[in-house]
Every structure is written in C-alpha cells, then in structure tokens.
Amino acid sequence: MQEVYSTHSSNTLSQSETSKVLRNTYFLLGLTLAFSALTAGGAMAVGIGHGTGLVMSLIAMALIWFVLPKTANSSAGLAVVFAFTGLIGAGLGPVISRYLAMENGTAIILQALGGTAIIFVGLSAYVLASRKNFSFLGGFVAVGMMLMLAIMLFLLGASFFGYQFSGLHLAFSAGIVLLMSALILYQTSEIIHGGETNYILATTSLYLSIVNLFTSLLHLLGVASDD
C-alpha cells in the first residue's frame, strides 16, 4: 500500500492500476474492521457509557470531515483512518453491550453481522463480475447522505427532549440499509472504472457503509424480536 494517490485521470487508468487500488482498498478495509473490533471489545471491557460512545463517534466524524480531506493524499491519511475507525469501534461498544444484555441479543448480533457480510460481499461481487458502471447513483447517494444526517440530528434532538418516534426510527434504519447498499455499488464501481484513485478515501466510504449497515440491521432485527 505504498502509493496512496495516483495522478492519472479516470480516463487513463490502466486495468492494473485500478486492480491495485482495489486490492489496497480491501486490504486496508480488512485491517480497519479488525481494529474496530478490537477497540469495540476494549470499550465493552472497560464499560464506557453511551454518552462517551457518542462523543467518540462525533470526534471520529469530525476527523473524516475536516482532517482526512487534507491528509488523504499522504501517508498521514492512514493514521487518520485508523484513528477514525478505532473511535467508531469504541463508540459501538456500548451499543453491542446493550444488545448482549438482551435475552436473545447474541443471536441478533450474529444475524446482523451475517446480513451485513452477505449484503456487502453480494453487492461487491456483482459489480466486480458484471463490471457495470453505477456512477449514476452518485447524486442519489449524495442527497441521501445529507437527508440521513438531517434526520439523524432531528432524532437525536427529539430524544434529548424526551420525544420518541419509533416508527421514524424504524423507517430511518430501513432507509440506511438501502442507502448504504447504493453506496457500496457506487464506490466499488468508481474504483474499478477509475473514478476513485485514492484507496484511503475508498476504504473510508466502504467502511462507513459496512458499519451503518450493521447498526441498522441490528436495530431492525431488535425490533423484529420485540427487544
């Protein structure tokens, strides 16, 4: 993973270059997911609270919004990505602990993990096998991400003042599953067609898709199990 950024345009990238970006992306993605699992386990062992977990997640998002764009074309971007994914993993610790405390929490977590893996591997394999260009999803993903952020802030604000919108929470989780599925299709397509030459940015995008898929499926399965 020596070359972080390629100066080639999307029209001049060779097959070997796009394959290299893809390999580096999947390799870094595997490392960051493993690192997140470790930090999540550590957070669960220490017993951090939901408030601390939320703060960690907010710091992580600040890193990719304000720091990563300035470092993505250098090796410093790798440190930012691991800091980001480590904080996200630690922030998930309290959530996972809450589900483990439920009667069938372990089964729900395993089902969510399995569903996430099936969706990610299935969609990625489809794009890689078909070589279909999903660049047309770019606008949908961009608008969807902004809408997701707006609804998330609304739900957080409502819960702070003691209001609960269970139906909206459920619809939001289902929408996230669809949006993250579209993002996986779009990002994988961008890599293999030369639209994305930076494996650090590609890894961050796919990592967010996987984590959001997992947490959304966790919520949906928890509701389905009456938990």
* pLDDT grade for 164, boundaries at 50, 70 and 90: confident
CA angle centred on 28, ends 88 and 112, rounded to 5° = 50
In a domain, 10, yes or no: no
| Residue 148, pLDDT score | 87
Token pair belonging to 69 = 């764009």
Residue 121: how many CB atoms within 10 A of its CB? Answer: 11
Torsional sign, CA 19, 208, 168, 146:
negative
* 172-185 pLDDT per residue, tens: 999 999 999 999 99
pLDDT tops 70 at residue 12: no
pLDDT in tens, 183-216: 999 999 999 999 999 999 999 999 999 999 999 9
Other CB atoms closer than 10 Å to residue 174's CB: what's the count? 14
Residue range 208-217, pLDDT digits in tens: 999 999 999 9
What's residue 8's pLDDT?
40
Residue 5 lies in a domain: no
| Residue 61: closest CA among 85, 30, 94, 29 | 85
Give 9's pLDDT tier (boundaries 50, 70, 90).
Answer: very low
The residue segments making up the domain with residue 115 are: 15-224
Is the pTM higher than 0.75?
yes
* Mean pLDDT (whole number) for 147-169: 78
Structure tokens at 82: 């691991």
Please count the structural domains in the chain: 1
